[in-house]
């Protein structure tokens, strides 16, 4: 912290060397605001306590108290969820320690809400989404990876909402089950079809894809269903067939509404950033870890909306 003249009442002003914000050192009303500034640098810029001590002039012990104080608080939540009509929903696991389920606004990629649970499931997703519905959330469309518990919860709360299945997840799962070099002609043709899925940008291309898949079914469906179950490759080929049949009705809503995301890639990228930020502060207790994830979401939303 560098000295930067005096305030109108004669008190010293200081400028942060990181973001150039100015503070009045002796203003008690400004104390929490100053402390949250150092906490935000710890969360978002990955500064260590030692580095913050050098910047602020505070002792490491004081900065640890500041950090723990804010980790015991919860950031403000959105009270009115009515403006959020197009959403992206996905979850990511922190090894086997738990799962962070996040709801993103598709238009500006701000985080509407997230939930940290031991395992993704209906028992945890439904109460969380129900609470958002009570605050006015009424989505027109939700892009998701097709996790069954999430689909059940969305269907129970918003039966009229469009479910857009993530094309990347369909492609990735199907190609993984079919393997790089499928052993059957049916598997090779289906893999080639899946590889074209994420490049569909028009209704004409969609119609071509659907007609090609139906032609594939006409040629190979009976053969695939008759394959013996002793082979893992045969089981996975049947799983891919089931995946395609279940997802096909909800693959192409994004062509009718440009506000709908075709994939969950935007949220996947955000999950990568928050995991990278957390790794800088690994070792937090479970409660502080959850609070850290919430504060990271809040601060990043502030940056996107240019709020102080």
- Whether residues 267 and 159 fall in one domain: yes
pTM (two decimals): 0.88
**Element of type H or E holding 80:** none
- Whether residues 143 and 283 fall in one domain: yes
- Whether residues 271 and 237 fall in one domain: no
Is the pLDDT at 25 greater than 70, yes or no?
Answer: no
Cα–Cα dist 53/35, whole Å: 12
What's the sign of the alpha-carbon dihedral 195, 197, 203, 209?
positive
Domain that holds residue 67: 2-71
- Mean pLDDT of the chain, nearest integer: 90
Cα–Cα dist 182/178, whole Å: 6
- Whether residues 28 and 151 fall in one domain: no
- Whether residues 150 and 267 fall in one domain: yes
Confirm whether 54 is domain-assigned: yes
- Whether residues 227 and 147 fall in one domain: no
- Whether residues 275 and 142 fall in one domain: yes
Cα–Cα dist 22/13, whole Å: 6
Which residue(s) pair with 114 in the sheet? 102
| Dihedrals phi, psi of 117, to nearest 5 degrees | -135, 160
Dmax over Cα atoms in the chain, in whole Å?
A: 87
Are 80 and 135 in contact by the 8 Å Cβ rule? The answer is yes
- Whether residues 145 and 279 fall in one domain: yes
With both helix axes pointing from N to C terminus, report the angle between 60-71 and 286-305 in degrees, rounded to the nearest 10.
Answer: 80
Burial class (CB in 10 A: 0-12, 13-18, 19+), 202: exposed
Q: What total of structural domains would you count in the chain?
A: 3
- Whether residues 187 and 249 fall in one domain: yes
- Whether residues 124 and 270 fall in one domain: yes
Q: What is the CA radius of gyration of the chain?
A: 25
- Parallel, antiparallel or unpaired: strands 86-93 and 22-24: unpaired
Are 200 and 206 in contact by the 8 Å Cβ rule? The answer is yes
Confirm whether 203 is domain-assigned: yes
Q: Residue 145's closest CA among 71, 76, 92, 107?
A: 92
- Whether residues 159 and 24 fall in one domain: no
**Element of type H or E holding 38:** helix 31-44
Final residue belonging to a domain, choices 255, 273, 289: 255
Confirm whether 81 is domain-assigned: no
Residues 37/38/42/45 CA torsion (nearest 10 deg): 60
Q: How far from the centroid of its chain's Cα atoms is residue 39's Cα?
A: 23
Q: Over the stretch 73-124, which tens digit does the pLDDT of each residue have?
A: 999 988 889 999 999 999 999 887 899 999 999 999 999 999 999 998 999 9
Q: What is the pLDDT of residue 271?
A: 96
Q: What is the pLDDT of residue 2?
A: 45
- Parallel, antiparallel or unpaired: strands 162-165 and 99-105: unpaired
Stretch 245-259: mean pLDDT: 97
Confirm whether 80 is domain-assigned: no
Final residue belonging to a domain, choices 71, 100, 123: 71
- Whether residues 94 and 112 fall in one domain: yes
Stretch 285-291: mean pLDDT: 94
| Dihedrals phi, psi of 169, to nearest 5 degrees | -65, -40
Cα–Cα dist 265/253, whole Å: 16
Q: What is the pLDDT of residue 33?
A: 83
Are 106 and 116 in contact by the 8 Å Cβ rule? The answer is no
Q: Over the stretch 172-224, which tens digit does the pLDDT of each residue have?
A: 999 999 999 999 999 999 999 999 999 999 999 999 999 999 999 999 999 99
């Amino acid at each position: 912290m560098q000295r930067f003249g005096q305030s109108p009442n004669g008190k010293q002003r200081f400028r942060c060397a990181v973001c150039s914000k100015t503070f009045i050192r002796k203003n008690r009303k400004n104390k929490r605001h100053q402390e949250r500034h150092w906490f935000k640098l710890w969360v978002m810029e990955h500064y260590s306590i030692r580095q913050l001590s050098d910047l602020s002039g505070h002792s490491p012990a004081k900065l640890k108290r500041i950090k723990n104080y804010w980790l015991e608080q919860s950031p403000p939540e959105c009270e009115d969820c009515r403006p959020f009509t197009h959403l992206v929903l996905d979850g990511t696991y922190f090894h086997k320690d738990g799962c962070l389920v996040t709801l993103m606004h598709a238009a500006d990629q701000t985080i509407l809400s997230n939930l940290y649970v031991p395992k993704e499931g209906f028992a945890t997703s439904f109460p969380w989404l129900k609470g958002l519905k009570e605050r006015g959330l009424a989505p027109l469309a939700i892009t998701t990876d097709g996790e069954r518990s999430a689909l059940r919860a969305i269907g129970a709360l918003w039966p009229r909402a469009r479910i857009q299945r993530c094309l990347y997840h369909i492609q990735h799962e199907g190609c993984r089950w079919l393997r790089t070099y499928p052993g059957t002609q049916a598997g090779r043709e289906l893999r080639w079809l899946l590889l074209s899925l994420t490049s569909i940008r028009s209704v004409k291309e969609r119609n071509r894809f659907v007609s090609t898949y139906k032609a594939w079914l006409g040629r190979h469906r009976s053969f695939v269903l008759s394959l013996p179950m002793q082979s893992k490759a045969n089981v996975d080929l049947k799983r891919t067939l089931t995946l395609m049949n279940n997802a096909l009705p909800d693959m192409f809503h994004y062509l009718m509404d440009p506000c709908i995301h075709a994939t969950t890639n935007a949220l996947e990228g955000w999950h990568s950033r928050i995991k990278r930020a957390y790794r800088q502060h690994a070792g937090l207790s479970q409660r502080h870890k959850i609070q850290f994830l919430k504060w990271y979401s809040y601060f990043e939303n502030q940056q996107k909306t240019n709020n102080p």
